[in-house]
Chain A
Amino acid sequence: MHRSETLVQWSLAVVALSAIAVLALIIIFIFKEGSPIIARLGIAQFITGTKWSPTRGMFGILPMILGSVWVTLGALIIGVPIGLATAIFLAEMAPSRTSQILKSAIQLLAGIPSVVFGFIGLIILVPLIRKWLGGPGFSVLAAGIVLGIMILPTIVSVCYDVFKAVPQAYREGMLALGATRWQTIRMVVLPAARPGIIAAVILGMGRAVGETMAVIMVAGNATKIPISPLAPVRTLTSNIALEMGYAVGEHREALFATGIVLFVIIALLNTLARLVARVEKV
């Protein structure tokens, strides 16, 4: 009895550790491949350089960093208000049956492959923007809208859980003061849920920063710093995905270095989300 117990414990530990080992290997690999070129060019040169021209040996990724920032901001501007409103409706207002059905519909949204989002954006959104707003259509705006829709499931489901975790006593206390349902939400539920909402936004942000395929299809991918929402843009992830197929030597190293920057950004966002979530518990 005791022996089999130890056996189970050990094998579970090995499996768990191997998952972590894979993560460690990925990190080591990216850093090993990418750090030499950063060391050679200097971190400042690499991050603040505005020219990306591998054939001429110029590796500045500022346009891509800014590209990721703008596209992610666009996604948040579109995704957060819609996601928050949806979560409020589902958690606080909709009858529980409606809420169940709509919630699973939104979960389904998370299951649609990103290439499909990109495809729809390419076929519908890009021509619309070109026609009505001008520019090439492939733009920060197009990418922001597509990503905004893609981060909805994350925002909605995290916010929904956060609202559901707000003690019922708060709502009753507020209703007993004569508050309407909306006053209750605005004055007590939202403030109580604020740390959770912030965590949801940061998680959505992580998803937006990391998304590649859909962005490549609608963003235009020019390696210039975008000067307007209608200008084409290339993100960090797009940069890697677009060029990895044929890159060699220094060029290849520079793409791994792009990966390092991406990795650091996402690690920071995750840590931030966790810190905010911890503040909530105190």
Chain B
Amino acid sequence: MFQGSSDDRNEVQRWYVSIMEQKNDCKIRIDNLNLHFATNHVLKGINLNITRNLITALIGPSGCGKSTLLKCLNRMNDILSDVRIEGQVLLENQDIYADTVDVSHLRKRVGMVFQRPVAFPISIYENVASAPRVHGVSHKGTLNTIVQASLERVGLWDEVADKLHKSALSLSLGQQQQLCIARVIASEPEVILLDEPCSALDPMSTMKIEELMRQLAKNYTVVIVTHSMQQAARASDYTVFMLGGEIIESGPTAEIFTSPRDTRTEDYITGRFR
């Protein structure tokens, strides 16, 4: 997956991150974001920059708010009742919580992949085609092109080309997750959010998805929530450690994992934290 020694890699990564920071290439900027769920203060004063074309990992123990934070980025928290959100989330300098924002269009730009693969109980083809269809594409030829390109992009095309019209539920879990990523790609997003995308998968499928993420980061901004420390260390460029609804520490992944500044971060990544 990675060539060269880990030192080389860290070097490259640090260089890459510094370049990005110099360009101030910030895709999403979160400004003093607070989220209350009923009487719970779930996210407390979150400030974070998410850099374009990097993989940002959100880590932290269960209930720290990392999934909630992720869902703030495409307003999936909207469908829950009793949620109050203050502060700003700027996508390309535009507040996604502004009244004028078309949520449907926002979710086209910011796609999401869930923890358990959500393959719809329709054909493989229709699963991928559903994304462009939602956004008004109905021309058969265009759909065919999008479906094929998306499936090729996630490396699933060769496996499913001859059974496109079979039920998507006939695929293995790993393949279903690839399919879900293909579906997100099919709506041509700018940002891809992944909510623990590998927690239901076996190690082989996990590896595939991680490689795929690496591929995707070339064109998209990727944000991943993960429980697995190794996954964050292996597959992300930038890591954000959260605890109790706050960001404790964030920085280039290599730094967070080799020389964390906060003792709580260190405790968590070394597994001493409970």
Contacts and interface: CB of A to CB of B under 8 A. Distances in A.
The answer to whether A and B assemble together is: yes
Interface of A: 169-170, 172-180, 183, 187-188, 191-192
Q: Binding site of B, secondary structure by majority: helix, strand, loop or mixed?
A: helix
Contacts of B184: 177
B135 A178 contact: yes
A176 B74 contact: yes
Contacts of B108: 177-178
A183 B103 CA distance: 14
Q: Which of B107, B130, B184 has the most CB of A within 10 A?
A: B130
A189 to B, nearest CB: 10
A177 B121 contact: no
Contact of A187 (B103, B104, B105, B133): B133
Nearest to A176: B112
A187 B130 contact: yes
B121 A176 contact: no
Contacts of A177: 107-108, 111, 130-131, 134, 183-184, 187
A157 B76 CA distance: 30
B107 A173 contact: no
B107 A170 contact: no
A191 B121 contact: yes
Interface string B126-151: 00001101110000000000000000
Nearest to A193: B121
Contacts of B122: 187-188, 191-192
Nearest to B109: A178
Nearest to B79: A175
Interface in B91-118: 103-108, 111-112, 114, 116, 118
Given A172-B76, A173-B118, A183-B134, A178 B104 contact: yes
A169 B76 CA distance: 12
Contact of B103 (A170, A174, A178): A178
Contacts of A172: 76, 79, 114, 118
B134 A178 contact: yes
Given A169-B118, A177-B108, 14 more contacts: A169-B114, A172-B79, A172-B114, A172-B118, A173-B180, A177-B184, A178-B103, A178-B104, A178-B105, A183-B134, A187-B120, A191-B120, A191-B121, A192-B120
Contacts of A178: 103-108, 134-135, 187
Interface string B27-41: 000000000000000
Q: Number of contact residues on B: which range applies?
A: 20 to 34
A93 B81 CA distance: 14
B181 to A, nearest CB: 12
Contacts, number: 64
Interface in B51-108: 74, 76, 79, 103-108
Q: Which of B74, B79, B105, B180 has the most CB of A within 10 A?
A: B79
Q: Which of A175, A183, A191 has the most CB of B within 10 A?
A: A175
Closest 10 CB pairs of A and B: A173-B118, A178-B107, A178-B104, A176-B112, A178-B108, A179-B134, A192-B121, A169-B118, A191-B122, A188-B120
B178 to A, nearest CB: 15
B191 to A, nearest CB: 12
A174 B111 CA distance: 11
Contact of B116 (A169, A174, A187, A188): A169
Nearest to A192: B121
Nearest to B78: A175
Contacts of B104: 178-180
Contacts of A191: 120-122
Contacts of B118: 169-170, 172-173
Contacts of B131: 177
A174 B107 contact: no
25 contacts: A169-B116, A170-B118, A170-B120, A172-B79, A173-B118, A173-B120, A173-B180, A176-B111, A176-B112, A177-B111, A177-B130, A177-B184, A178-B104, A178-B105, A178-B135, A178-B187, A179-B104, A179-B134, A187-B133, A188-B120, A188-B130, A191-B120, A191-B121, A192-B121, A192-B122
Interface string B179-208: 010011001000000000000000000000
B107 A175 contact: yes
A175 B71 CA distance: 12
Contacts of A187: 120, 122, 130, 133-134
B185 to A, nearest CB: 11
A263 to B, nearest CB: 35
B129 to A, nearest CB: 10
Contact of B76 (A170, A175, A179): A175
Contacts of A169: 114, 116, 118
